[in-house]
Amino acid sequence: MRKPKQIRNVAEASMAKRPAIAGIVLAGGRSSRMGKNKALLDYHGKPLLEHMIEILQESGIEDVFISGSVEGYACLEDRQPYAGPACAIRHVLKQKPGYKGYLFVPVDMPHLNSAVLQELISKPEGGYFIGWPLPVFLTSPITMSEAASVQEFIDAQGIYPMEIPGTFEKFLMNANTPQQWEEALATS
């Protein structure tokens, strides 16, 4: 299996690493609306999955994992493929215990950046933005809810949503269809 190339982070010298936090790219969906695996879409010369890994690394996250099954990458394969992100989150939490926090990002949010993620991980109680259950930062102790949706899983944690800083909303756009992907590429 091909491992993502190691990226030298230009902000690394000025940013403390966060070894107690695991970063997870949720990449286990069918990508049915896109018509092909979103994780492997070309985003400025590299697979979108690698771009998302780089964003987690730029946020100071050392331990980054891929949830799902992406050909050519070492992944934490979902026990129940295509059961949704809440199920994938539970699976990762069971497979990778012991972290003080877990930062989950979707693979299909190409404009996401480290400033947005750092805002979330600055909250010791965990965090997510109003109207956007992903990305989400979960902190220990975590209640292993059997919730069907990410929002219900977060609600079981007792995390209060944060207001989206005015400049951040544009970074939270998902690309689920070919048209949305073209819009994402045109605005990046």
Which CATH number do you get for residue 75? 3.90.550.10
9, part of any domain:
no
187, part of any domain:
no
13, part of any domain:
no
pLDDT attached to residue 165? 87
pLDDT attached to residue 35? 87
- Position 2 confidence tier, pLDDT thresholds 50, 70, 90: very low
Q: What is the pTM of this model?
A: 0.87
142, part of any domain:
yes
pLDDT attached to residue 80? 84
Number of folded domains in the chain? Answer: 1
31, part of any domain:
yes
State mean pLDDT over 58-87.
Answer: 93
152, part of any domain:
yes
172, part of any domain:
yes
Contact 78, 88 (CB under 8 A): yes
Residue range(s) defining the domain that contains residue 134: 18-180
Classify each residue of 53-89 as buried b or exposed e, where b means 16 or more C-beta atoms within 10 Å of its C-beta: bbbbbbbbbebbbbbbbbeebebbebeeeeeebbbbb
Q: Of residues 119 and 82, which shows the higher confidence score?
A: 119
Q: Provide CB contacts within 8 A for 79, sequence distance 6+.
A: 87, 91
State mean pLDDT over 175-183.
Answer: 92
Looking at the predicted structure, is the pLDDT value of residue 107 above 60?
A: yes
Looking at the predicted structure, is the pLDDT value of residue 91 above 60?
A: yes
